[in-house]
Structure 1
Amino acid sequence: MRILFLLFTFTFSVFSFAQENEDAQKVDKYLDAAASFYYKQQYVKALNLSKKALSISLSTNDEYHLALSYNLIGTIYNDFSQTKRALNFYTKALAYANKVENDTLRLWIYSNIGNVYYYNENDTDFEKSILYYSKSLKLAEKLNDSLQITFIRLNIANAFFEIDKVDAGIAYIKPLSSYIESRKNTESIITYYDLLGKYYSIKGNNKDAEINFFNAINLAKEEEAAFQLHDLYQNLSDHYYNINNTHEGAKYHKLKMKFKVDFQSEERLDTIEQVATQIELDEYKYHFEQIELKNELQNQKIKVSRIIIVSISIIILILLILIYTLYRNVANRKRNHAKLFVANQELTEAKNRAEENAVLKSQFISTVSHELRTPLYGVIGLTNIILEENKNIINQENLQSLRFSTRYLLALINDLLEINKAEENKIILKKSPFNLEKEMAVIIKSLLFMADGNGNQLRVAIDKEIPKVLLGDEIRLSQIMMNLISNALKFTENGFVKIEAILISMQETTCQVELSVSDTGIGIKEEDHQKIFENFVQIERKHGDYQGTGLGLPIVKRLVSLFGGTIQVESSENKGTKFSFVIHLDYLDELPVDSSVKSEKSSMEKKLQILVVEDNKINQIVTKKIIERNDYSCTIAETGHEAIDILKTTAFDIILMDINMPTLDGYETTKIIRELGIQTPIIALTAFERSEVEAKAKEFGISGVIIKPFVPEVLFEMMDDLLNANNQDE
């Protein structure tokens, strides 16, 4: 009898092993369709589809699908008793299954090889079939696949029945009762009942034999299982003949013939023979292509090897050249290194000298400016005193010339200090609230005399959209505008100078403002547009001699860059000039409230007692005149020691302290005064640059710093602020 449906039918529900690509999916479809045709006994169609699947798998070297294809082809040839071919295909299937190390494939193929030895008409070998079934069973138990275990046990039992070892066979069937009762697989149930029928028939239990045979037949009818109905009617017919019931035996033998499949028809045999030949041709073609491919790869390897050998030779040659070049370079480098070492020493020495020179230059400028400012303070002060005390000579040309010369000399000193600070990056912008419109008004007012002198008009246009309260360094911004406006007035006669401020953009807390100064003066040649920003450069003018240091515009350029802008110039001869720049400024919605509110009555309204500590006689006279002209009392101390002695017995409202004094300078004098517990506000009157003394002055207890020469109003304003702050502290 035919045992069980052969174990390729379950392969097509477990394709998760296969690579999910287009070719693999096509092979899956062919194999599914082939299995379906096999079930319907349409073997030629099944075989042709299996061949197509095999052909694609060979071309893609898909070992998993090769195993499946060979397994199905082997099964078909086994049905046609083509034992030799079937074993050949199963052997190939097993080889590919071992390559992919797939136990499920291996158990199917072992079981199917067992079927070959079971059905071999010429050389049936049930012992070998049991051997291969047993191998398959071990793999099924390893995978814990209950369905496969059931089928294989039934196969083994059937083989034992064929060699009259029914007790050994029934031992494989009995453990399956619980699985059979679960009725998960009808095919296995049919076979189970069939084998029980055979067992009871052999044992002489005819009633139980017939019950099991009919149970199997009824289920096979429901499933329309033609294969199994043929074998079941054969087994039932044999049973009746064995108990001498020839009538029933003949009846079921006749029924068996309805389900007989003609495997030996000439047409089918020719077809499967042709297909087998085509499969062999496909395999030869595949192997031939593989050989050609290997040869091509070998040729490519040879070509690559040649290229590599040539490349290595070239590389070695290049390396030799490089080594020689390196050797020469090392020798040259040693020579150059020696030269560079000497040059580096010279450069280091030059750098040190340059740094020393820079320090000396800075010290020189600071010392010279101090030494010039000190007598200038006296000259400017005395000139002002003479003019104020003698109103009748105020218009004398000599005195006015003296006043102009002193102011010019002071401006020169300030410019030198400013450009020195800019070159050494010592200028740091401060942030304080200011109103641009008011600041411009102050600048214009201070330059009106200069405009009137050349018959010029000053025009101002401030954009109303510019925030009222800007945050920035108003002093540096004023310095920029003063330089530009005074330049414009100097080079313009009987014309006008326009100052303009335009809002470019506004963000949440910042804004961009364009400031410009344009005039109708003599203009600048195009080739001189960049020269004017160089230090000490004064371009030639046709219309007259214009005095100046040549430092104003370089200072402007450096200050504008600190504001994050770039100065632009537009000018042509005899048509005027325009300087413009854009700066970024923070802004506030309103002016911050000052927490230190001044008292309604200023401390300056009373007659103040002021101590002046100054060693220079002329400066003593000038400072004393400035103080007494404001109706305050003034006491002079020529040294620091004298000042300390006076303060031990007399109280003062304000102390004006010179910094540069012999024996005991202003810092040490202040330190001793503070150690005595005297908290009187001390204002340093010094000719040194503010940045040089401010930090140290604060450290020693000096309350404020005024740079000489100074405007008296600035001094009195600071005195007022300090006294009011002192009163609030008390």
Structure 2
Amino acid sequence: MRLFLFYAVLLSSSHSLFAQKEPSKRRLPDPPYNFSVQELDSVLELAYESYFEGNYVSILQKAPDLIDYAEEIDELQIKTRLRAVLGNAFIQLGDRENAAALYKEALKEAAQRKDTFQFVNTYINLGNTYFDTDEDLAINYYTKALELGKNGSRDPHYIIIHHNLAEIYVKRDQPGKAQFHLDNVISALDDPSITNRKEQFIPTSQSIQGSIYLIQELYYRSIESSLQALENDRDDIDESYRILAYKNLLTAYEKTRQFELLSDVHKVYDSLITNRYENEKIRQQQLANSKYKADRYRQELVNSEFETKLMKQQTEQDETLIWTFAILGLLLLILISTLLYTREKRNKLLKILQIKNAQYLEAKDQSEKLAQKNTKFLSTISHELRTPLYGIIGLSSVFLNDKELDKYDEEFNSLKFSADYLLSLVNDILNINKFESEKGRKLQEEHFNLSLLMNSIVQSFQFLNQKNNNTLTLQIDPRIPEVLYGDKTKLSQVIMNLLSNASKFTLDGSITITVDQKTNDGKNTTLSFAVEDTGRGIEESNQKEVFEEFTQVPATISEGGTGLGLPIVNKLLKILNSQLEMDSTYGIGTTFSFVLPLKIGSKQEMESTINDRDIKKLDHKKLLIVDDNKINQLVTQKVLEQYHLDHDTANNGQEAVDMVKANSYDYILMDINMPVMNGIDATIEIRNLGIETPIIALTAADDLNLERDIYGHGINSILVKPYHTEQLLALLINHMS
């Protein structure tokens, strides 16, 4: 029972506000048109009449041409109203899809013209389109129309929108929302501009009010409103509202137990229902006839268009057929010539390709062999360099823990730090490309004392700077927390590389390392690092080159180095979420700086990385050291003895297998590359004996495929030499039975 919106002399609805009119003899005119605005307005009234008479086919035939004519003479409001008639005709014929498409096209036009009237009108018509099939969508369109009409005006738009929304919320049993919209209708009826419409809306509003009271179980009020609706009833109001009023009375009388009144109301209600049923049958017959005519009209239109199109196509085909054959003949000649030329060219290219392919296969084979040799070389050089470094680092660590050698702590610290730096340099050379891999980018975060770290780095470069007669100064902001949490190793590599460059390229000058705190929120801090020297500086033309791998500016080649320092720093800082900045003036000096975010660490966590109580559990555990290098044996023995661990030593894998057969061990420390029998074969033999003793591989090799080659043969863990004592202790504690 929604109110459909047509504008002209009358305001109308489909089976809604007004009853259907008697058929008129007047019919919509055929094109072409030459109407004045007044005449076109009269034609609009004819369109309304045709709609109410159920002559939808006539509307489908004539309305599109009338809409085009209204646009041609720039009568946009008449065009909008004619479109509303056409859309509602589609709805009556059950073609809501075409109705919606018509209105949505109208929305696009309204947007182009910024036409608020057309926007409001079209949103209302779209709401009407979906009133019976999609209440949510209908509410959405009505609401959009209301939002556009927020200008204080209470015109027929305003009344119809609120009236229809009130009906929807009654259907949804939402009396509060229904009452809100009905109150807006009743309030608007007092507006002077609506006075001539008031009597048409009063009975429909009172019927809806009766329904709202009924939902609220205010039965006597429902009776009162329904009786008022019937009292104010008009012949030209759709009987659906009259039926609604009687239906409300039936329910309310029954709820208030006024059974004596039910009989008379039932008689009238039944009579109305019967009458509507008969009228609906007639209407459905008329509608079916209209649909049949509409379908027939559409089919005739399609057939006519098809015949016209077919004739036009036939003519065009006849005209182009000769040209087609002529062009095809010409194209055929060109194609044959092209194919012959292409074939000859293809044969030549094929021969060239065969030669190139053979060259490529040969180059590929050589490249693969070179890569294999390179991998083998890197693995060998890695093992050969790490082995003596393991002795230096291991023994220096042992000496540092020897109480009798405390007076040499500074020397041993420098020795160990220098060895660590050399190991770091070896790792940089071997692993420069690993920083691009996921494994290389992984952070190894730990708690550390920044002041101790920086002083240790500075101490390791004192000898070189004394040799070059440089003054080395370290300035650390006292506001920086004592303990930080981050990747200590990568930060050390960055500082050492920058300090190494400054120390090598500065003579009789000064080097200043500055660490300032920029921010601190209690959990995180941001530090600024700068290494400033008064060396020779870098010419502007060479400043980009110094960041390229294995590249040194000509003046610095004699100073030594790999040319990897700054490229490595760049890659490390990228991993640490930072960036290197350079400020250099030739003949004056250079400053390298970067800003690094770090977490604030815990002194307790730093001091208790390994629990002393757990280390105590290792007392007198028996280990078998398997290594062919006497220095490595000595280092490992000294480390174990510091923590009261017992040990035996085997010089190769075969000796290890024999000793395991004869003795029981808590752990086996197994080297990989050994004569007679290597560590992997020895492990396989031991596991074949059914022995489950934890085996930890201690190896100086650092191959990318190390884990894949080792873990599949019964080895429990891997530790790459040189290693920190804490790492070995942690593994022993982890594998403690």
TM-score (ref. length: structure 2): 0.47
Larger Cα Rg: Structure 1 or Structure 2? 1
TM-score (ref. length: structure 1): 0.47
